[in-house]
Amino acid sequence: MRVLLYSAISGLATVGGGLLALIISKKQSDKHIPLMLGLASGVMTAVVLFDLLPEAIEYTTALGVIGGFGLGIIIMLGLELIVPHLHKNQRLSNTNEYVKMGLFVALGIALHNLPEGLAIGAGYQAAPELGAVIALAIALHNIPEGLGLAVPLCAGGMHGGLIILICLLAGIFTPIGTLVGMMFLSINEAFIGIALAIAAGAMAYIVVDELIPEAWQQARLYTGIGFISGILLALLAH
């Protein structure tokens, strides 16, 4: 089906962001890691503020958005109980810390991509042209999302091939969401809105609890420059 092709291309744009991060990471310096972590934080903050929450409000009530956002934070807190903060465990290296960050980012993006896929399916059901436009918009901002996912994994020294695989796995949730949406002729818009809000809460938690504190501890100036650049990059991708 054409809508699944649109959705797959949109989701796989995450891989493009991952490739971009691999290219940038080759020019590493002492300030590279805080700069790139700041960039990832800015990208994800912009996605939460300018994409996820506004879209969620359109689909559900304010109470649903607040509840979903809080649930997203609770989900991440629950994951922390299962996989405690690595920076609190002195036996683990910084490499492991960055890898953990990247995996949490991947989880947040996967949660984000699933309802986006649902939105593509819902738009296509309303009008094929609308579904294509939604898919294009999602593809554009999936590129900086892939960048935000891959940056901490690069900092953790993960092999490039595995980073691209993780980007691929996160991106594939978009066509999965579309497939689920197309299977059910009547998509509950409130559910889509709550799912978007859950993703926003999860991603906000990642930024505040993981990315910014680590980058800020290393170099505040470069963290700030990266953060602002990340927000601008995400806005330009719209």
Asked if residues 138 and 238 have their Cβ atoms less than 8 Å apart, the reply is: no
Residue 237 and residue 141 in contact, taking contact as beta carbons nearer than 8 Å:
yes
Q: Which of 36-40, 65-69, 186-190, 231-235 has the highest mean pLDDT?
A: 65-69
- Region 112-130: mean pLDDT is 74
- Asked if residue 4 has pLDDT above 80, the reply is yes
Start-to-end C-alpha separation, the chain: 26
Q: List the one residue out of 8, 26, 42, 3 whose CA is nearest residue 226.
A: 42
Instruction: With cut-offs at 50, 70 and 90, classify the pLDDT of residue 225.
Output: very high
- The continuous run of DSSP H or E covering 47 comes out as helix 32-47
Task: Report which of residues 122 and 12 the model is more confident about.
Answer: 12
pLDDT of 187 above 90: no
Per-residue model confidence (pLDDT) at position 100: 79
Higher pLDDT, 213 or 91: 213
Chain center to CA of 92? 25
User: Residue 36: pLDDT above 80?
Assistant: no
pLDDT top residue among 108 and 19: 19
Phi first, then psi, for residue 29 (nearest 5°) are -140, -175
Share of the chain above pLDDT 70, in %: 84
Burial degree of 152 (CB within 10 A; 0-12, 13-18, 19+) = buried
Q: What is the DSSP letter of 86?
A: G
Judge whether 113 and 177 are in contact, CB under 8 Å: yes
Residue ranges covered by each domain of the chain: 2-22+33-236
Q: Identify residue 14 by its one-letter amino acid code.
A: T
**Greatest CA span in the chain, whole angstroms?**
55
Tell me the pTM.
0.66
